[in-house]
Amino acid sequence: MDGDNLRMGIGGTQSQMQRQALNLTMKMRASLRLLEMAAPELRAELAREMVANPAIEDIRYGDRAEPLSAVAPDEHNADSPADRELNFDDTPDRAEAILSADDGYRDRFLSGLENASGDEEEDSRRTRFLDSRLKRPRSLQEHLLAQLPVSGLPERDMPLARVLVGNIDSSGYFRGSVPDIVMIHGVAAEHVDEVLAVLKRLDPPGCGSKTPREYLLGRLAEIPQSARADVRAMLNGPLFDPVGENESPAARIEKAKRLSGMTPERFAAALAALRKLDPSPAAGFDDGGETPQEISPDIFVTVGPDGEPAVRVNSREIPEIRFSERFKALARRKDATREEREYVRNRINAAISLVEAVENRADTVLRVAQCIVDGQKEFFKTGDKTKLRPLSRLAIAAKTGLHESTVSRTVKGKYASTPWGLFEMRMFFPAGLPADGGGGMSSGAVKEMIRRAIDSENKAHPLSDLAISGILKEKGVHIARRTVAKYRVSMKIPGAAERILSDSSS
């Protein structure tokens, strides 16, 4: 037999190979998933966990003197709502206590009615307020989530689909990180793309596209047949090439025309057909008005009498997860089967892992926030944005012992409340420009210097970008004229010629 295999060229060999790989446990994935959630998202996620896991009795928010892991189970769940509701003792004392409690709720309810205002205008105002809350406009994410049950996706893909929808911005583009989703949720990148393809077929179509090129390629069917091939070639050409993002639109169009090989007439016709398509996937979505986004700070930064900033976590956003003693008692029942005990044990372990993930999230946010405050201490002391210094996530990772990607997840969607206002934590990681005296200056600080220079200029003779570059060089910040122009445009400040025209017209 072996000889036959050798003659046919069929055989097998064994070899050893050593390689490094990162295997994340389910507990680690859950911890990373909670870490990158903003406070409102965390509340929603924990509410879903409470519904799904009977071992979790209640979730409360507020100040807590010690971590959950240090609270004794009996003390933690003393006189819990589940204990009261599941107490079916029918003794006379128990019955009297229940009836007296009912009387108390009834008396409170009736007294509320008796003391209610008879002002019709006030009643109408309350009704309008309640109606406005009930008729809150639906966000794009809510609109997409409502279509998932009829999308044709199998039930096993629904959790992934909800995660992907959560990473679609208000314009309809997917802004999530596929490698992060692959690592956290343990799925293949190809499978992520397959689920995104289903989302792009929902209403409005195209939501979930990663780039304008991808979205517009999906809408080629709306282009007249005569121009479709030219528009496809234009989309695949340099017009949407990210390499040329720093070029002006006119320069990019001219470059695309030169490289397309089309006649000027054909190129103009294809460009006109392309311009009829709206580049925003969510352009056709009407949410009935702007939906306000809830922002809750994860940390508070205060400045003490000595002028030193101090950091603390927003304790109101740290949940207290209460366990059900009744559910835990099921595992000790003598008549429980092995499968029942295993189910109870798994649910309790899942609840304990959730508590550990929540506490780890709070600890990680505090550690990263403390390093940010240490690195941007002058800003937190004064509130002056020109005091911001270049700071990288890699530097924070080195100080905290965390991975750089963990630092990125920690600051994503998190906000810091400071004496100078509410700031997204990502703002404290500005890029740097060289400055005299060593170190550097953040791009945000440079923008603030440009703004101040323009605010104090002679309105009759506005400063050119070259003149502003010279002023900053005198202050030790080396910046090119075109960089000044780029920062000025990003701040929506017109050029010198436009400023003098607008000043003369006013």
Q: What is the spatial distance between Cα 318 and Cα 362, in angstroms, rounded to a whole number? A: 7
46, 105, 175 from 166: Cα distances, Å:
16, 41, 9
All residues at 6 or more sequence positions from 420 whose CB lies less than 8 Å from its CB, including other chains: 380, 383
Scan for tokens 């920690």, then name that residue. Answer: 410
SS (H, E, C) 132-144: HHHCCCCCHHHHH
Residue from 482, 422, 412, 475 nearest 448 by CA? 475
- The three-class DSSP label of residue 122 is helix
| Domain 432-505 architecture | Orthogonal Bundle (1.10)
Residue from 305, 358, 264 nearest 50 by CA? 358
The backbone torsions φ and ψ at residue 323, rounded to the nearest 5 degrees and listed phi first, read -95, 155
Scan for tokens 């208000």, then name that residue. Answer: 170
Beta partners for residue 322, in sequence order: 58
pLDDT of res. 88: 33
- Cα atoms found within 13 Å of the Cα of residue 292, Cβ hemisphere only: 6
pLDDT of res. 242: 56
Give pTM, 2 decimals: 0.46
pLDDT of res. 504: 46
Q: Averaged in consecutive runs of 10 residues, what is the pLDDT profile of the chain (506 residues)?
A: 50 56 61 84 86 85 50 40 35 42 40 43 49 58 88 90 89 85 85 93 89 86 84 80 58 79 85 79 66 74 88 86 82 79 86 89 93 90 81 88 88 88 85 56 76 84 85 80 84 77 51
- The three-class DSSP label of residue 389 is coil
pLDDT of res. 436: 52
5, 83, 371, 436 from 399: Cα distances, Å:
59, 46, 7, 26
140, 173, 210, 392, 502 from 282: Cα distances, Å:
8, 8, 13, 34, 34
The backbone torsions φ and ψ at residue 435, rounded to the nearest 5 degrees and listed phi first, read -140, 155
